[in-house]
Amino acid sequence: MLKTTSLANFFNAIKQPTKEATQQPPKKEHSSKWPALLLMLAVGIGGWQLGLPKIASFFNDRGFENHKANRLAETHKSYQLALSIDPDNRTALYNLAWLCEEVQDLQCARGKYLQAAKLGLPAAYSNLARLYIIENKNYSAAVHLLLQGLKLAKDDRVKYSLRKNLGWARLEQGRYSEALQHLNAAIKLDSERVAGYCLKAQVLDGMKKTKEAQAQWKICLKYADSQDFDEDIWIGMGRQRLQQEKTKK
């Protein structure tokens, strides 16, 4: 994330919303240019044009901090303001999509991830593909997005996400050898993230490699977080599979 600019003092002087307002759930997106116009008058048209990306980044960072503090209504407002200032701020688009997904506004999430992906953000390709996997069951479209994202990705954490989701999509297609290849690559990139192990367990089960699958399920169950939407599902699957194998003995 970008650091707060020298304009911080000006922005911090903006009146903060009431406590009651921060407790309201984020509303669906609506386009409003009034905040941008007011800021334009405050800093001058010339200064506005030159500083626009930094101003948008400031509000994006402000939204990010609100999100960490679980102030969702304020988070939504901050990201929306960032985008009213700079509609092509791909980080703000991605962060707003993440927020929309968190509150289960999946139409909003898909739209914002798509916009961020079109602007070349690899992580947006990964998260959009995940929605294709879990919501649309459109595994071919997910694979296409993920392969495009891999061409752009440079950060290992993003590469992990792309590889993990490629493994997931190939798993759902029944293409187990390819799924295993991608999941092994993901685990090699980051061995501390548990999703790769949970998915690898499912692939090995599909390949009838029960003993190897059990080892992966044990790792999955040890480290998976029930607060995570995907991992909570895999926890249930893992417990069921291990119980099934236990009753066979």
8-state DSSP, 208: T
Q: CATH 1.25.40.10: which residues of the chain?
A: 27-119, 122-191
First CA to last CA distance, the chain: 53
Alpha carbon distance 184, 178 (integer Å): 10
Any alpha helices (H) in 69-118, and if so which ranges? 72-85, 90-102, 106-118
Q: Please choose, from the candidates 176, 122, 172, the residue with its C-alpha nearest in 3D space to the C-alpha of residue 151.
A: 122
Backbone angles phi, psi at 225, to 5 degrees: -110, 120
Q: Report, as an integer, the average pLDDT of 16-42.
A: 44
* CA–CA separation, 190 and 85 (whole Å): 36
Task: Pick the closest to residue 160 from 183, 130, 137, 144 (CA basis).
Answer: 183
Q: What is the pLDDT of residues 108-119, one digit of tens each?
A: 999 999 999 999
pLDDT tens string 215-231:
999 999 999 999 999 99
Answer for the pair 213, 241: CB distance below 8 angstroms, yes or no: yes
Instruction: Give residue 40's Cα distance to chain centre.
Output: 31
Q: Is the C-alpha dihedral spanning 64, 79, 88, 132 positive or negative?
A: positive
Give the integer Cα–Cα distance in Å for 104 and 129: 16
Is it the case that residue 9 has pLDDT exceeding 60? Answer: no
Q: What is the pTM of this model?
A: 0.79
Looking at domain 122-191, which of 1.25.40.10, 3.40.309.10, 3.40.50.1220, 3.40.50.280 is its CATH number?
A: 1.25.40.10
Model confidence pLDDT, tens digit, residues 151-185 = 999 999 999 999 999 999 999 999 999 999 999 99
Confidence category of residue 7, pLDDT binned at 50, 70, 90:
very low
What CATH number belongs to 27-119? 1.25.40.10
